[in-house]
Amino acid sequence: MTHDSALTHTPLATQIAADPALLDGLAHLAVHVGLNLQAGQDLVMTTPSSAMPLARAITAEAYRAGAGLVTTLVSDRDMTLARFRHARDDSFDKAPDWLYEGMAKAYENGAARLALVGEDPFLLAQEDAAKVGRANRANAAAYRPALAPIAGFHINWSIIPCPTLDWAQRMFPDQPPQDAFEQLAQAIRKTARLDQADPVAAWTAHNAELARRCQMLNTARFDSLHFQAPGTDLHVGLADGHFWQGGASVARNGVRCNPNIPTEEVFTTPHAARVDGYVRATKPLSHQGTLIDEIEMRFEAGRAVEARATRGGDVLRDMLATDDGAARLGEVALVPHSSPVAQSGHLFFNTLFDENAASHIAMGQCYASCLEGGDTLSKDEVSARGGNDSLIHVDWMIGSDRMDVDGLHVDGSRVALMRAGEWVTP
């Protein structure tokens, strides 16, 4: 099955319409479960143009829930490609810092943040990799003011999917467009728990289970984790004063929200200087429109000293060279192989989904919210605890039904956490 060929242009006017009931269900989850949007609260939403039907449904639901002002920023496939094919060379070192500063100001004033995903995951696969890398670096640097309130969990925020034809045809390239679209829509419905009689109640129960996992890990106070699987023998030290999060959590503004829908992970902050060994990816990574496949890395004293991939290697190496922290870990997450995303049998080519099919690690920026007292720590104090600092945060998947994970205490004693990709602890 080939996924690198250029996607046939599909005018927006001929995009396949999603089931209105699915859009309404996703909109309800986004506003009431993902964001838990508060009466009078503003909302900043980003969406690809192909997901506008869901953006409209969310806007209506947000206003029905009492939103103050909903502001939507739209990206477009053809406009993005026009830049890479026609722009001056120096365009690729620019980014709209004024826009991201405005977004940061909105968050300072109490706005919530929602991102819709549904864009073509391989949009830039055929474009100049050097230009893609330069544009990504420029955007990452400019985006930092808007990212900080999210990484620090200052605000209630969420990411939610929308079925689009572009995305569906990448996942199911050998199927007729309508069939491909319906398969993607059904997969989203199931993994978002919209196939349950009461989706909100299903999310409440799921969040409670994730909270129990976090409580177990926080009580254990492991010093490190040991991952073992074919191609993987990795020790990940955990940051000083770390704690685990997963599912619904309370942001620093006091609002409980689900940052990701779907979500199956429990995650924490690794120690940036205490990662050693080698690791192999179990799923491809779709990063900024480029596919990176069969990633392998070797770590010494926290840093990735070797990195290769059979496809997209140039983009991977360029990503790791973004800044000093880009080659170190900022997150480690545990996900059972029995998760609905994994059991769907699909590769989504989208991190929102694929990271919830497998245990994973992330290169780059840590979540200070996973450190005790993180809301009061300075940047230097986060670093002293072992938290990593970077312009990027890129998750990639290392778990499978052949993965074993142990928790290690300071004295070297071990506790089996996962065997063959499944939880074995109470």
Task: Give residue-wise pLDDT tens across range 134-177.
Answer: 998 899 899 999 998 998 889 999 999 999 999 999 999 999 99
CATH of the domain at 52: 3.40.1830.10
Same domain? For 147 and 228 the reply is no
Tell me the pLDDT tens digit for each residue of 57-77: 999 999 999 999 999 999 999
Helix, strand, or coil (residue 418): strand
From 150, 173, 191, the end of a domain falls on 191
Query: Based on the domain organization, do 52 and 174 belong to the same domain?
Result: yes
In terms of domains, do 187 and 233 share one?
Answer: no
Determine, yes or no, domain membership for 12: no
Q: What is the pLDDT of residue 376?
A: 84
Residue 153 token pair: 């969990």
Place of tokens 């790791």: 320
Same domain, 288 and 400: yes
Same domain, 236 and 151: no
Looking at every residue in the chain, the average pLDDT score rounds to 92
Residue 199 forms part of a structural domain: no
Q: Is the pLDDT of residue 11 over 80?
A: no
400, 282 Cβ separation under 8 angstroms: yes
Q: Are residues 316 and 269 located together in one domain of the fold?
A: yes
What pLDDT does residue 426 have?
58
- Tell me if 268 is assigned to some domain: yes
- Lowest mean pLDDT: which of 259-263, 295-299, 320-324, 371-375? 371-375
pLDDT score, position 351: 86
Question: How far apart, in whole angstroms, are the C-alpha atoms of residue 182 and residue 188?
Answer: 10
Question: Can you give the pLDDT at residue 87?
Answer: 97
Q: How far apart are CA 138 and CA 130, in angstroms?
A: 12
Look up the domain containing 289 and give its range. Answer: 221-247+261-423
- Asked, for residue 205, whether it belongs to a domain, the answer is no
Same domain, 168 and 239: no
| 17 bridge partner residues | none
Q: Is the peptide bond before 262 cis (omega within 30 degrees of 0)?
A: yes
For the chain, how many structural domains are there in total? 2
Q: Which two tokens stand for residue 3?
A: 């996924």
Pair 171, 105 in one domain: yes
Percentage of the chain modeled with pLDDT above 90: 83
User: 184 and 101 in one domain?
Assistant: yes
Q: Which two tokens stand for residue 414?
A: 């071990």
Q: Lowest-pLDDT range, 122-126, 174-178, 285-289? A: 285-289
Query: Are residues 70 and 141 located together in one domain of the fold?
Result: yes
Q: What is the DSSP string of 86-143?
A: HS-GGGGG---HHHHHHHHHHHHTT-EEEEEE-S-TTTTTTS-HHHHHHHHHHHHHHH
Stretch 216-231: mean pLDDT = 97
Q: Is residue 7 part of a domain?
A: no
| Single-letter amino acid, residue 129 | A
Residues facing 260 on adjacent strands = 159
In angstroms, the CA 184 to CA 390 distance is 33
User: 231 and 158 in one domain?
Assistant: no
